[in-house]
Amino acid sequence: MLFHFKDQFPHLSTYWDKYLPHQKRLEVPAKTILLEEGKVSQQYIYIEKGCVRAFFNNNGDDKTLQFFFENEGLTSLPSFVNDTPSDITIETLEPSVIYLLPKKYVSQLMDEVSHEPGFLKMMLQIFARRQMHYSSLLISFIRDTPEQRYQNLLTERPHIVQRIPQHYIASYLGVSTVHLSRIKSKLAKGKPHF
């Protein structure tokens, strides 16, 4: 959060600089849990290297909601803001380098910076974008078949398909691994690439 804002709103950078030293740097292997479903989010997560996924567990099988990569920040917003148990788990998919900023510093920073004229407009932008993201995802779920969603992923976010193991992709698309395999082989037949 704080971190990409720094690029977008350089005039507020003195605030960011003041708090960056409070971050904790971590090098972790793949499959490390950064936030566990049911616990309260205590820090904001920033990814320097590697990637993570956010998912929730439903009767033993994972449902992946989102992937995050280098230079992205995340947390469970409702848990972080309201001190409620998180409904999602966040785990690394590759060996990663991440930074954690404890919640109390985030709050302090928010309080300080909220007096800045640009800040609230910025927050609105963030929220509007986030809403767009969720609503377009929702619309895609309602409107498109899994095959279309997979093709969208291929054209619009190919780095995900290249980098993420396929069964996580299936979980993200909302289909079984078997069915994603079928989709792929069907597409391969229709469009030979030689």
Partner DNA sequence: TAAACTCGATAACATATGTTATCGTTACGC
Partner DNA sequence: GCGTAACGATAACATATGTTATCGAGTTTA
Q: Which residues bind a copy of itself (CB under 8 A)?
A: 56, 58, 63, 65, 77-78, 81, 87, 120, 123-124, 127-128, 130-132, 134-135, 137-139, 141-143, 174
Measured from the Cβ of residue 120, the count of other Cβ atoms closer than 10 Å reads 12
Chain Cα centroid distance, residue 65: 8
Query: Residue 142 binds what, of a copy of itself, DNA, none (CB under 5 to 8 Å, by partner type)?
Result: a copy of itself
Beta-bridge partner residues of 190: none
Tell me the window of 63-71, 77-85, 108-116, 139-147 that interacts with DNA (CB under 7 A). Answer: 139-147
182 is a site residue for DNA (CB under 7 A): yes
| Least distance from DNA to the Cβ atom of residue 151, Å | 12
Nearer to a copy of itself among residue 99 and residue 149 (C-beta): 149
Per CB under 7 A, the list member of 147, 151, 154, 160 interacting with DNA is 147
CB 115 within 8 A of CB 47: no
Q: How many residues bind DNA (CB under 7 A)?
A: 18
User: Which of a copy of itself, DNA, none does 184 bind, CB closer than 5 to 8 A by kind?
Assistant: DNA
Binding mask 29-68 for DNA (x = CB under 7 A): --------------------------------x-------
Q: Which of residues 61-100 bind DNA (CB under 7 A)?
A: 61
Q: Which stretch binds DNA (CB under 7 A): 14-22, 65-73, 122-130, 168-176?
A: 168-176
Pure H helices in the chain? 2-8, 13-19, 77-82, 103-113, 117-143, 146-156, 158-163, 166-173, 177-190
Give the pairing of strands 89-92 and 52-58: antiparallel
3-state per-residue secondary structure call for 112-165:
HHCCCHHHHHHHHHHHHHHHHHHHHHHHHHHHCCHHHHHHHHHHHCHHHHHHCC
Query: Between the CA of residue 90 and those of 37, 43, 139, 169, what are the distances in Å?
Result: 8, 12, 24, 16
42 binds, among a copy of itself, DNA, none (CB under 5 to 8 A by kind): none
Residue type for 27, please?
Answer: E
- Residues in touch with DNA (CB under 7 A): 61, 145-147, 165-167, 174-182, 184-185
